[in-house]
Amino acid sequence: MSKALLYDATACIGCKQCEQACADKNKLPYDEGTAAEDRQSAHKFTVVLSKGDKFMRRLCMNCSDPACASVCPVGALRKTAAGPVIYEEDRCMGCRYCMVACPFGVPKYEWNKVLPRVQKCTMCADKVAAGQQTACAEACPTGATKFGERDDLIAEAQQRLRENPGKYVNHIYGLNEVGGTSVLLLSSVPFEEFGYSTDLTRDPLPLLTYRVHSRIPDFVPLGGMLLGGIWWITHRREEVAAAEKAGPTSEPKEKLR
């Protein structure tokens, strides 16, 4: 069983407590200026968009078969059985293939940092692993963002559609898009009005990944190899420095070439 989030825009009041909770959880700054930003960024993993009295959340969809993970040459992004798509910054070599591959434009890069990371919502993976709900679901005062088993949330969304004819666009966004996602959306406003693509493939994402790879020019893998080399050297230096600090009897795992 895999966990998921169900966001029902018709229950959302636009209070942005999910944004605040996400920032707190991820130790990101959040003030009035941040609240006014309407784009996901390296310092804002979820946004609540508004059009009049209608709202919509955007965040990483934590796809069932994530394109970001399938293009990552070093396995820094990974789908977990529990649902979240996690990111291991120690593995990341900064090639940013994930940013090209994501069909939702989610991963962001810390361009202004000395040691930049890719940033995105990882569905509060540590909380989920500890049997807790995500910070955004916990903070939501109306239940518009709900955490649970994906299968249960799908059944609940289907029931809401069935019992409220005319209230919603008759579609659970994320049920089948790009092979299914761990974020499911219901809305009374067409999803495309909030920037969601409604013509996405239902294919498993490795197919999509193949298409992305075929669009990447030949010089990009060369750049990736170069970055990989820099990454390897940096990590070797850190490993040797740590071994030297530990004392004369402690050797690095391999000899430095």
Nearer to ligand SF4, 16 or 224 (CB): 16
Identity (one letter) of the amino acid at 237?
Answer: R
Per CB under 6 A, the list member of 6, 47, 72, 140 interacting with ligand SF4 is 140
Which residues are within 8 A (CB) of 210 and not within 5 positions of it... i.e. 6 or more apart?
Answer: none
Q: What stretch of H or E contains 36?
A: helix 32-36
Span 43-62, contacts to ligand SF4 by CB under 6 A? 45-46, 48, 55, 57, 59-62
Q: Which stretch binds ligand SF4 (CB under 6 A): 11-19, 29-37, 164-172, 233-241?
A: 11-19
Beta bridge partners of 250: none
Which residues are within 8 A (CB) of 253 and not within 5 positions of it... i.e. 6 or more apart?
Answer: 239
Q: What angle do CA 206, 208, 168 make, to 5 degrees?
A: 110
Q: Residue 142 in contact with residue 163, Cβ under 8 Å?
A: no
Other beta carbons within 10 Å of 169: 18
DSSP 179: G
Nearer to ligand SF4, 135 or 153 (CB): 135
Counting contacts by CB under 6 A, is residue 4 touching ligand SF4? no
Nearer to ligand SF4, 142 or 159 (CB): 142
d(CA 29, CA 46): 13
Per CB under 6 A, the list member of 136, 153, 185, 208 interacting with ligand SF4 is 136
Q: Residue 229 in contact with residue 215, Cβ under 8 Å?
A: no
Per CB under 6 A, the list member of 42, 56, 71, 139 interacting with ligand SF4 is 139
Q: What x/- string results for residues 79 through 108 when contact with ligand SF4 is judged by CB under 6 A?
A: ------x----------------x-x-xx-
d(CA 170, CA 188): 9
Counting contacts by CB under 6 A, is residue 118 touching ligand SF4? no
d(CA 230, CA 189): 47
Counting contacts by CB under 6 A, is residue 120 touching ligand SF4? yes
Counting contacts by CB under 6 A, is residue 68 touching ligand SF4? yes
Nearer to ligand SF4, 18 or 184 (CB): 18
Binding site for ligand SF4 (CB under 6 A): 12-18, 21-22, 25-26, 45-46, 48, 55, 57, 59-63, 66-68, 85, 102, 104, 106-107, 120-124, 134-136, 139-140, 142, 144-145
